[in-house]
Structure 1
Amino acid sequence: MEEVVRSRRIDMIHAYEWRPCLQAAFSSGRRIPLLMNVMSTDVPRFLPTHLPIIVGTPELQQRMEAQGRRAHLLEPSVDMEHYRTTDIAAARAGFGIPQGALVISMVSMLTTAHGNVQSALEAIRVVDRMAFSWPVRLLVAGGGEGLEAVRQGAAAVNAHHGWTVVQPLGFQLDSSPVYEAADIVLGRGSSALKGLAHAKPLMVHGESGFWRLVDEETSEGFLHGGWYGRGGEGDRDLTRGLEALAGSLKRRTRLGAYGRHLVATRFDLERAAERLASIYVDTALGRCDLNTMVRSLVRSAAGSARYLTSTRLGSALYRDRSVPAVA
Structure 2
Amino acid sequence: MRILVCPHQSGMGGSQLNAIELAMAMRRYGHDPVVFAAPGLLTGLLRSVDLEWVEAPAPEAPALAWSRKMAETVRRHGIELIHAYEWRPCLQAAFGSGRRIPLLMSVMSMEIPRFLPTHVPIVVGTPELQQRMRDQGRTSYLVEPPVDMTRYRSTDVPAARRRWDIPDETLVISVVSMLTTALEKVQGVLEAIRVVDRMAAARPVRLLIAGDGEGREAVEKRAAAVNHRHGRTVVHALGFQLDSSPVYEAADVVLGMGSSALKGLAHAKPLVVHGEAGFWRLLTEESAPEFLHGGWYGRGGAGAGDLARAVDQLVESAELRARLGSFGRELVVGRYGLDTAADRLAAIYEDTAHSAGDRSTMVRSLVRSAAGSARYYTSMRFGSVVAREQWAREGAIA
Q: TM-score, normalised by structure 1?
A: 0.95
| Residue 321 in structure 1 maps to residue 393 in structure 2 | yes
User: Residues 127 and 2 from structure 1, CA distance in 2 versus in 1: closer, same or farther, beyond 3 angstroms?
Assistant: closer
| Residue 259 in structure 1 maps to residue 331 in structure 2 | no
Which deviates more, 242-251 or 292-301?
292-301
What residue number does 2:294 align with?
A: 225
Report Cα offsets for 1:78-125 as digits up to 9, x if no partner.
Answer: 000000000000000001001111111111111133212211111111
Trace 1:80-119 onto structure 2 (pairs within 5 A): 80-119=149-188
Question: Quick one: which of 224, 227, 237 aligns to 1:155?
Answer: 224
The separation in 2 between residues aligned to 1:323 and 1:168, in whole angstroms, is: 28
The separation in 1 between residues aligned to 2:381 and 2:225, in whole angstroms, is: 39
What residue number does 1:124 align with?
A: 193
Trace 1:141-290 onto structure 2 (pairs within 5 A): 141-290=210-359
Q: Which amino acid aligns with 2:222?
A: G
Question: Quick one: which of 113, 133, 136 aligns to 2:205?
Answer: 136
Q: CA deviation at 1:322?
A: 5.0
User: Residues 29 and 135 from structure 1, CA distance in 2 versus in 1: closer, same or farther, beyond 3 angstroms?
Assistant: closer
Equivalent position SS for 2:392:
coil
Unaligned runs of 5+ in 2: 1-69
User: Residues 20 and 237 from structure 1, CA distance in 2 versus in 1: closer, same or farther, beyond 3 angstroms?
Assistant: same
The separation in 2 between residues aligned to 1:201 and 1:211, in whole angstroms, is: 13
Report Cα offsets for 1:272-306 as digits up to 9, x if no partner.
Answer: 10000000011112221211111111221222222
User: Residues 100 and 26 from structure 1, CA distance in 2 versus in 1: closer, same or farther, beyond 3 angstroms?
Assistant: same
Equivalent position SS for 1:186:
strand
The separation in 2 between residues aligned to 1:31 and 1:154, in whole angstroms, is: 51
Unaligned runs of 5+ in 1: none
The separation in 1 between residues aligned to 2:72 and 2:178, in whole angstroms, is: 35
The separation in 2 between residues aligned to 1:320 and 1:235, in whole angstroms, is: 24
Does the 8 Å CA contact 1:2/1:29 hold for their aligned counterparts?
A: no
User: Residues 86 and 44 from structure 1, CA distance in 2 versus in 1: closer, same or farther, beyond 3 angstroms?
Assistant: same
Q: Which amino acid aligns with 1:190?
A: S
Q: Which has the higher contact order (CA 8 A, sep 6+)?
A: 1
Q: CA deviation at 1:235?
A: 1.5
| Residue 300 in structure 1 maps to residue 377 in structure 2 | no
User: Residues 151 and 2 from structure 1, CA distance in 2 versus in 1: closer, same or farther, beyond 3 angstroms?
Assistant: closer
The separation in 1 between residues aligned to 2:71 and 2:220, in whole angstroms, is: 46
Q: TM-score, normalised by structure 2?
A: 0.79
Trace 1:21-32 onto structure 2 (pairs within 5 A): 21-28=90-97, 30-32=99-101
| Residue 311 in structure 1 maps to residue 386 in structure 2 | no
Q: CA deviation at 1:247?
A: 0.7
Report Cα offsets for 1:130-159 as digits up to 9, x if no partner.
Answer: 123321111111112222222222222222
Equivalent position SS for 1:224:
helix
The separation in 1 between residues aligned to 2:353 and 2:368, in whole angstroms, is: 23
Segments of 4+ in structure 1 off by > 4 A? Answer: none
The separation in 2 between residues aligned to 1:235 and 1:304, in whole angstroms, is: 37
